[in-house]
Amino acid sequence: MSFDIFIHPIEETAPLDKEMARALSDVSVKHGGPSEPDKSGYHFDLRDGGGVEFYAGVAEAGGMLSLRSWGEAEAAFLFDVLDRTGWLAVIPSGEPLPILTVRERESATELVGDVKHVVLVLKSGDDVFRAVERAFGQWGGYRDQVVKG
């Protein structure tokens, strides 16, 4: 089972323009990945032994980062995606819903509506690492609430 982080532009849906496609490719290459996505996104091993399954870069802006492991390299990758695109990362770990960004903002109601959320402005990959670690700690309880059985 993976822990998924959803990456969104500020607008709910938007086509992927050439500038954003190039930004995603640049981030992938910086972290040792391919220069272009395959039919579903970017999938590659990180230099530290971790891996990236980033379903993005194909048609619409945004995507999903599917985590099977979590470390500094994955955090640096996510920080660079957010930094280069200006998109938001939504971590589905319960309420308040953590929203990660590198741009100053007070709310993400245009994306999540009335859902109780907290916006975390990140300055580095270390900030991303800690934010996801906290959310992942909450995720087990949230998962057990949602998935009964």
Question: Do strands 117-121 and 97-101 pair parallel, antiparallel, or not at all (unpaired)?
Answer: parallel
| Alpha-carbon span 51 to 100, nearest angstrom | 21
Span 56-108, pLDDT tens digits: 888 778 888 888 778 899 999 999 999 999 999 998 887 888 899 998 877 77
| Alpha-carbon span 33 to 105, nearest angstrom | 30
Cβ partners under 8 Å of residue 2, min gap 6 = 53, 66, 67, 68
- Copy the structure tokens of residue 19: 């500038």
Q: What share of the chain has pLDDT > 90, as a percent?
A: 34
Burial degree of 137 (CB within 10 A; 0-12, 13-18, 19+): exposed
User: How large is the average pLDDT for residues 36-53?
Assistant: 86
Q: How many structural domains compose the chain?
A: 1
- Would you state the pLDDT for residue 48? 75
Domain that holds residue 51: 3-146
- Would you state the pLDDT for residue 110? 76
Note if the bond before 96 is cis, omega within 30 degrees. Answer: yes
| Alpha-carbon span 95 to 93, nearest angstrom | 7
- Would you state the pLDDT for residue 149? 53
- For 25-147, list the strands marked E by DSSP: 42-45, 51-56, 63-67, 88-90, 97-101, 117-121
| Alpha-carbon span 101 to 85, nearest angstrom | 10
Span 101-148, pLDDT tens digits: 998 877 777 777 788 888 999 999 999 999 998 887 655 555 555 555
